[in-house]
Each structure stands twice: as C-alpha cells, then as structure tokens.
Structure 1
C-alpha cells in the first residue's frame, strides 16, 4: 500500500513547488499527514517524509540501495557528472575519501582569520543610515571566503574577476527558466541546450540577439569561461609546484586514492564548482535568516552580545574561542531549524522498502523533509517560535534535526560551514548594531535548490563599534 498522494496534475505540483514551496509542503502535510506522494513531470514519484522513525530507516539503509544521482540530476548541467552530490556507490566512497581531509574539523582553525578578514572588508563598506540587503552582503562575504580558503586566491585582479564571473554564473544558473528546464527535461537534453549555446549563431540580427539573451545560452558562455580559468589554474599550479599550499583546491590536487591515483582535471573542475556553489549560497542564506530572526528579538541579541563580551572581551573572536560560543551556536541552529536553507534530501530506491505501514516500490524516491520534520509540534514545542534556548544542553536526534542531511550522505562541508557562520555572525554583532530597515512580512522564494529571503533582509547600520584586533599580540605571547 502506497502513502496518500497529492491529486493535482504533476505540472501544477511542480509549479507550486517552484513558486510557493513553503505553502506547498504545509498544505500537503495538513491534508495527508507525515508521509505523502508528490509527482513532478519526468521524475519518479517522490515520497515526502517527516516521521523521524521513517527518516531513520532511510538514513541507516544500505547506501547501495539508496541512490542520489536520480534525485539531484537537476544540478548536473552546472556541477558536472563527477560532482560528489551526483555520485553513488564506490564512486561516491572514493571521491568522499579524497575530499574529506581538507574539511576535517581541526583544519578549521587555519581558516578562521581569513573568514574574519572577509567579514571585516564587507562591514567596512556598510553605510550608516542607508538600507542595504543583508543577504547580498553575506553572499559577498561567503564567496570571498570560498575564493581564499578553497581556491587560495588573494585580493587582486584575478580575485575580483573570478568573483564577478562566479556571481553571474550563479545568478544565471538559478534563473527560474533553468530550474524549470532542469526539473522537466532529462539532463542529456539540458546539456544539449547548453552545447547549442556554445555554437556559433547563423541567424538574423534579431534572432541572434534573442538567442544570446536566453538563460541557457548565457550559462553556456559563462561555464566555458569558468572552465577555461580552472583548467589553466590546474596546469599552472602543477608547473609551479603544490608544496606548501594549504588551500582546499591544492590539497585536492595532491590527494590520492587507495590505488595511488589522483582526481582527473574534470573531477577537480566538477568538485570545485560544487564547493563554490554549495558553500557560497547556503551559508549566506543561513546567516541572513538568522539575523532576520535576531533583529526581531532584542532579548536574544542582548544575550548574544553578553556572551561575546564574556568570551572575547574588547577584541574579536579568535579561532580557538569559537567552541565557547554556546549561545551563538544555539541561535544559528534555531534559525536553521525554523527555515532550513535546503528543505529536503532524497534517495531513489533500487529495491522496494517498507516504511512503517507503507510499501514503497523500487524506482520511487524517498525524501526526508527537513522543513516539515523540524517544525513538528510533538518534537519542537511552539515550533514557529524562534527560541535558541531549546538547543542549550540538548542532545540532538539526527532524525529530528538534520539541516545538513543525514546518514552516509551528510554534507561534507558541515564543519566548515558551521565554523564560518559563527565567525562571521560574531564579527557582525561585535562591529555594528543593525536594525530592520522597514517592517516587512516574511517572503520565501526559491533560489536554485535553496529557500532564500524574497527581500534579502533589508537592514540599516545604526552604529559602529571599535573592536581591537588582538591577534598580533596573542601570537606574540604564544611564541
């Protein structure tokens, strides 16, 4: 017996999921409970799950029976077929082993000051008493952090050029037309469209102008430019030598599998774009959501500032102090509970699976729904209330709270992202006092695979505070 299904036409279900995802999920769970079937064109049926016991079954199931590529195929045109989020079986195990060392928790300390410096550069530019989008600023900060720590780029002409190029790539890649095409067409058809965009046009002037303006034509041109830069960079680094370089890309270039084989250039390219895309957009959105909530709760902001004063005093938070920021950690976790950046994760079944009373056949997809699970009233009392205290001293159940996914496919960059958010969040709180620019109602819109703020969280800087940089003296004392 299958779970209850939404009876709307599949194209209408896709339209609602694309344009109003929160309402779509909430209406479905009110009508059908914590397990229901969704249908989109050109996709296997999706079984949405928000029951922790059923989610446990999925996350602890045999990886060889639970495939990721069919669920994440919409990302292939941008990320490439070798991306970690598209690999299954032995390919996934090999790639994950190669990519794990640069993201080990202990390495976070070496990235901390670069993260803080990127935040400072942005904060220095924020105007007084003039509204700006906090989401846009966090996008800039997190992209700068990725370019420096992952790519090893420093401020300069190449840094500025690649930043601007990647912003355009991400904006075009998340265009609604691209999302719709990727969701309704096989990946091979979308890739064909992209290849057509790279071919010379032999059309009349008007038709040529229209073709150049199409999202897939723009994306094709941008991808060629990004790929040319990356392949040239791989060759340059090999020629100059990788010894002594500690950025993530250089470490991936030096990594070897159990047979002594490195990643190919195409694999490196696909993983580099994956790290850029995932690490940039998701972290920026999570930070903006957190401030959206904190600015509406003065008592929460007061507790945050008190903790920062107690841990760092008059100086900035040092990398080694981050683990002492318990209330900061709880605040970020509560924001990700209320509005997880990615609303669900999924697997396609290679074999039938019994989920509670339901029999789910092979070929269907099971999707643990982060958003619905983390808003269950039986798990989270007053689930719509922003209450960081609920995370203080709480041992988390990985089937009730999983903003970074779960099981063998939990996000590889979880430690990096969590550490980065604490550093940036603390630095903003210490250096400026913000207030919401206007009274605005919460508007959620889809941006690629993430749930972002429709208005970008408009804010004003009310005042600035001087934060003494004690890093030099701290280093001197430790020698």
Structure 2
C-alpha cells in the first residue's frame, strides 16, 4: 500500500515547491495527512513525511540501503560530484572521517576570536537611526568568517577580491531559476547548460551574445574563476608548507584516509565550495530569523541581555564562555524549530522497504519534513508560539527535532554553525540595541534550497552600548 498522492501535474508541484513552499507543505498536510507522495518532472515520486517513526527508520537505516546523493543532485552543478552532500555508502564514510577533525568541538575555541572580530567589523559600520537589511549584514559576517577560518584568507586586496567573487557566485547559485532548471534537468544536462557561460550564444542571423543574461551562464563564469584560484592556492600552499597553517582547507589537504591516501584536488575543491555554500547562507538566515523573533518579544530580549551580563559582564564574550549561554542556545533552537533553513531532508531507497505502514519500492525517495514535523501540535504544544523555554533542560528527540538533518548524514558543520551563531548574537546584544523598522510581517521566501526572510528583516540601531 502506498500513501496518498498529490494529484496536481508534476510541473505545477515543482513550481509550488520552489515559489510557495510553506503554503504548499501546509495545504498538502491538511488535505492528505502526515505522509503523502509528491512528484516532480523527470523524477520518481517521493514521500514527504512528518511521522516520527518513519523518520526514525530513515535516520537509523543502513547507509547501503538509503542514499542521499540522488536527492541532493540539484546542487551538483555548484558543489561538484565529490561533495559530501552527494557521496553515499563507503565513499561518504571515508570522506566524512577525513573532514571531521577540523569541526571537532575543541577546534571551536581556536575559531572564536576570529568569529568575534568578523562580527565587530560589520557592527562597527552600523549608523544609529539609519535602517538597514539585517540578512545582508549577517551574510557579510558569515562570509568573512568562512574566508578566514575555512579558506585561511587574511584581510587585504586578495581577500576583498574573492569576497566579491564569492558573493556574486553564491547569489547566483541561490537564484530560483537555477534551482528550477537543476530540478528539471539531469545533472549532466545541467552541467552542459552551465558551459554556455564560456562561449557566446548566437541565434541564427542575430549575432547577439545572450549568455550574459542567463543566471546559470553567469554562474559558470564565476565558478571557473573561483576554481582557478582554488587550484592555484592549493599548489602555493604545498610549495610553502601546508602543515604550517590551521585553516580548514589546509587541514583537509593534510588529511589521509585509512590507506594513507589524501583527497584529490577535485575533492578538496568540491568540499571547500560545499562548506562555503552550506555555511554562508544557512547561518545568516537563522540569525536573521532569530533576531526577527527576539525583537517581537521584549521579554526574551531582556532575558538574553541579562544572561550575557551574568556570563561576560560588560566585556566581550570569551570563546570558552559560549557554552554557558543556555538561554541564547535555547532561543536559537526555538528559531530553528519554527523556521528551519532547509524544509526537508531525504534518502532514496536502494531496495524495497517498509516504512511505517507503507510498502515502498526501490528508487523512491523518503523525505523527512523538518518544517512540518517541528510544528506538529502533538509533539510541540502551541507550535506557532515562539517559546525558547521549551528547550531549557530538555533533550529533544532526534526524530522530532532535526534542523541539521539526522543519523550519519547530520550536518558535519553543526557544531561550527551553532558556536558561530552564539558568538555573533552575543556580540550584537552587547554592542547595539535594535528595533524593527517595518510593521509588516516578514514572509518566508526561497533562496535556492533554503528558506529565508523575504526583504531580509529591516531594522534600525536605536543606540550603542
């Protein structure tokens, strides 16, 4: 027996998933229940579910039975086929082991001061009384942190050049037109389409170059420039002695598998771009949603400020004090419960399997829905209410709360991201008092594979500490 299926045409379902994801998920759940089948063009149907038991089966299943790569194939044109997001089974296990050391909890203390400096660089330029878009500012901070901690770049002309280059690449990569084309076309067709960015397009007698107007063509040109830099940078570091450096890219260059083999240059490139793409937009978006909610709840803001005073006094937060900000941690968790950056995660069945009450065929994808599961009233009383207290002194089930995914595929950068968010948010609370600069409710919009605030959350600085 199969779950109920959405009867709409597959192209219409894809359009709604890309352009009105929240409404589409909520309307479908009301009509079809906690598990239902969706269909996109040129792809098998897939099961979207908020059933905790099915989610448990997905997250605890054997890696050889449940693949992630086919689900994440829409990102291959940017992150590359060697990305941890696309690898499965033993390839994934090997690569993940090699990538784990730079993201171990103890490494966070080494990154903490750099994170705080990046936050202050941006906060310093905010003008009292002048409105600005918060999401863009957080993107600036998180990109700055990635350039320093992941790529090992330092301030200067080269730093600023690649900051601009990466911003343009990431903005184009999150363009909904690119996402739509990636979902419609097989990976090899999308990669071929990207190649138009390298040659002019001529339509018959009209000798016009149209490639500069196509987002995927512009993306291709930028990615080629980024790749040229990364390969040259890796060669330079090997020549100078990569063991002298402590940034993530250099540590990955030194990593070896159980057979003593390093990552290939192509794999290093793909993982570096993956960390850039995954760590920039997602963290900035969560911080934007968190502050948007906090500004709507003065009692939460007051408690956050009091906790920060108790932990750090009037001084900047020290890296070793971050773990003591329990209410701030609960606030960020509650933000991720209500507004997860990714609406769903998925696995593709490599053999027929029974999931819950459903007998599912091989080749079908099962998608635990983060958004719907974390708003179930039977799991989360008053699910629409912003209430950080629900996370104080409570350990949530990994099958009811999973904003970073679950099982062996849980986000490898989770510790890095949560540590980074607490440092940035704490520094903002210490330095400035903000208020919302708009009365309109901020709506959820899609930026590529993530859900971000439309308009970016407009705020204004009321005062500085």
Provide TM-score, normalisation by structure 2.
Answer: 0.98
Counterpart in 2 of 1:264?
264
For 1:237 and 1:214, the matched residues in 2 are separated by 35
Cα distance, 1:171 vs structure 2: 1.1
Counterpart in 2 of 1:224?
224
Pairing 1:16-415 to 2, within 5 Å after superposition: 16-199=16-199, 207-415=207-415
Deviation digits for residues 379-429 of structure 1 (CA, Å, limit 9, x no counterpart):
110000000000000011100000000001000000000000000010001
For 1:27 and 1:372, the matched residues in 2 are separated by 11
Query: Residue 200 of structure 2 contacts residue 210 of structure 2 at CA under 8 Å; is this kept in 1?
Result: no
Counterpart in 2 of 1:8?
8
For 2:99 and 2:269, the matched residues in 1 are separated by 13
Counterpart in 1 of 2:426?
426
Cα distance, 1:46 vs structure 2: 1.3
Query: Residue 202 of structure 2 contacts residue 210 of structure 2 at CA under 8 Å; is this kept in 1?
Result: no
What SS does the corresponding residue of 2:445 show, helix, strand or coil? Answer: strand
For 2:135 and 2:100, the matched residues in 1 are separated by 29
What SS does the corresponding residue of 2:142 show, helix, strand or coil? Answer: helix
Cα distance, 1:439 vs structure 2: 0.5
Query: Residue 432 of structure 2 contacts residue 461 of structure 2 at CA under 8 Å; is this kept in 1?
Result: yes
For 1:314 and 1:208, the matched residues in 2 are separated by 61
Deviation digits for residues 133-180 of structure 1 (CA, Å, limit 9, x no counterpart):
100000000000000000111111111111100110011112222111
Deviates more, 1:197-206 or 1:292-301: 197-206
For 2:462 and 2:123, the matched residues in 1 are separated by 13
For 2:158 and 2:94, the matched residues in 1 are separated by 32
Show structure 2 runs of 5+ residues with no match.
none
For 2:385 and 2:85, the matched residues in 1 are separated by 33
For 2:16 and 2:315, the matched residues in 1 are separated by 48
For 1:27 and 1:202, the matched residues in 2 are separated by 44
Cα distance, 1:202 vs structure 2: 5.7
What SS does the corresponding residue of 1:7 show, helix, strand or coil? Answer: coil
Deviation digits for residues 39-66 of structure 1 (CA, Å, limit 9, x no counterpart):
0111221101101111001101111110
For 1:260 and 1:210, the matched residues in 2 are separated by 48
Cα distance, 1:209 vs structure 2: 3.6
Counterpart in 1 of 2:441?
441
Query: Residue 443 of structure 2 contacts residue 454 of structure 2 at CA under 8 Å; is this kept in 1?
Result: yes
Query: Residue 435 of structure 2 contacts residue 461 of structure 2 at CA under 8 Å; is this kept in 1?
Result: yes
Cα distance, 1:211 vs structure 2: 2.2
For 1:184 and 1:217, the matched residues in 2 are separated by 17
Cα distance, 1:204 vs structure 2: 8.2
Cα distance, 1:342 vs structure 2: 0.7
Cα distance, 1:446 vs structure 2: 0.6
Deviates more, 1:353-362 or 1:87-96: 353-362
Shift in CA distance, 206/436, structure 1 to aligned 2, threshold 3 Å: farther
For 1:205 and 1:419, the matched residues in 2 are separated by 57
For 2:58 and 2:212, the matched residues in 1 are separated by 44
Cα distance, 1:127 vs structure 2: 1.5
For 2:137 and 2:56, the matched residues in 1 are separated by 37
What SS does the corresponding residue of 2:462 show, helix, strand or coil? Answer: strand
Provide TM-score, normalisation by structure 1.
Answer: 0.96
Q: What is the root-mean-square deviation of aligned Cα atoms in Å? A: 1.1
Query: Residue 433 of structure 2 contacts residue 461 of structure 2 at CA under 8 Å; is this kept in 1?
Result: yes
Cα distance, 1:111 vs structure 2: 0.2
What SS does the corresponding residue of 2:152 show, helix, strand or coil? Answer: coil
Shift in CA distance, 193/313, structure 1 to aligned 2, threshold 3 Å: same
Cα distance, 1:219 vs structure 2: 1.0
Cα distance, 1:244 vs structure 2: 2.4
Cα distance, 1:206 vs structure 2: 6.4
What SS does the corresponding residue of 2:451 show, helix, strand or coil? Answer: strand
What SS does the corresponding residue of 1:85 show, helix, strand or coil? Answer: coil
